[in-house]
């Protein structure tokens, strides 16, 4: 059975959501962030990077959220939550799966770290701000008139990308992007998302 190693207030919330959408049985192991907000050392015993999400399944350990979502869908979903791999929609799906952590999260994470430099970080902020606006604007434009990133039903790409507007909101940067805001609010209204929230415990990015 899949074991989801879940760190509070983290990207692993979306893996719980994936499991709930699919109705798959899973075990959940909770880890609490240290006062520094870093992960506890126990997570490094599961995967050397020591971060979450990470899953274990029949002796296999998988780290990196897009790889986890892809693995669970390919191996356990029976064709659900992804487009047919022979279609162009699947190429779009793959793009969003990689885009989340490969591009969209970078300026948001830079914002988090550079803000800690206070005044010393000031020269970097204009570029960070313009890149956040670039990526959120791209997403917002894509979501105009759509309920999902690919096709007309939920896919793993929506789940993978959901952390981007959640973090943007935590930095007060989502409100201007109305389509993005509507999309994530719709996703947060899904019963499986709510169930994952109950199971995962308090999640500060649940907005």
Ligand X SMILES: N[C@@H](CCC(=O)N[C@@H](CS)C(=O)NCC(=O)O)C(=O)O
**Least CB distance from residue 31 to ligand X, whole Å?**
9
Cβ closer to ligand X: 4 or 84?
Answer: 4
Cβ closer to ligand X: 64 or 92?
Answer: 64
Tell me the residue nearest to ligand X as measured from the CB.
51
Q: What is the dihedral of CA 147, 149, 154, 157, to 10 degrees?
A: -150
**Least CB distance from residue 27 to ligand X, whole Å?**
19
**Least CB distance from residue 36 to ligand X, whole Å?**
8
Q: Which residues contact 10 (CB under 8 A, 6 or more apart)?
A: 33, 52, 53
**Least CB distance from residue 66 to ligand X, whole Å?**
7
Cβ closer to ligand X: 8 or 179?
Answer: 8
**82/131 Cα distance (integer angstroms):** 29
**56/60 Cα distance (integer angstroms):** 5
The phi, psi pair for 137, rounded to 5°, reads -65, -40
Cβ closer to ligand X: 89 or 106?
Answer: 106
Cβ closer to ligand X: 52 or 111?
Answer: 52
Residues near ligand X (CB under 6 A): 7, 10-11, 38-39, 51-53, 64-65, 101
**Least CB distance from residue 119 to ligand X, whole Å?**
25
For helices 191-200 and 178-188, angle between their N-to-C axes, nearest 10 degrees: 70
Pick from 10, 96, 98, 95: which is nearest to 54 by CA?
Answer: 10
């Amino acid at each position: 059975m899949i074991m989801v190693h879940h760190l509070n207030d983290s990207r692993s919330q979306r893996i719980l959501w994936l499991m709930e959408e699919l109705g798959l049985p899973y075990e959940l192991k909770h880890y609490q962030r240290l006062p520094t907000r870093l992960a506890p050392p126990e997570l490094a015993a599961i995967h050397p990077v020591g971060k979450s999400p990470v899953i274990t399944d029949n002796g296999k350990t998988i780290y990196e959220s897009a790889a986890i979502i892809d693995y669970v869908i390919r191996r356990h979903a029976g064709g659900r939550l992804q487009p047919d791999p022979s279609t162009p929609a699947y190429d779009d799906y793959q793009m969003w799966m990689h885009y989340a952590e490969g591009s969209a999260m970078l300026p948001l994470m830079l914002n988090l770290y550079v803000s800690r430099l206070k005044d010393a970080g000031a020269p970097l902020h204009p570029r960070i701000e313009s890149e956040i606006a670039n990526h959120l604007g791209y997403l917002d434009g894509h979501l105009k008139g759509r309920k999902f990133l690919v096709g007309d039903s939920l896919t793993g790409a929506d789940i993978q990308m959901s952390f981007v507007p959640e973090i943007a909101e935590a930095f007060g940067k989502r409100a201007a992007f109305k389509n993005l805001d509507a999309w994530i609010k719709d996703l947060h209204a899904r019963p499986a998302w709510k169930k994952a929230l109950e199971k995962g415990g308090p999640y500060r990015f649940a907005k």
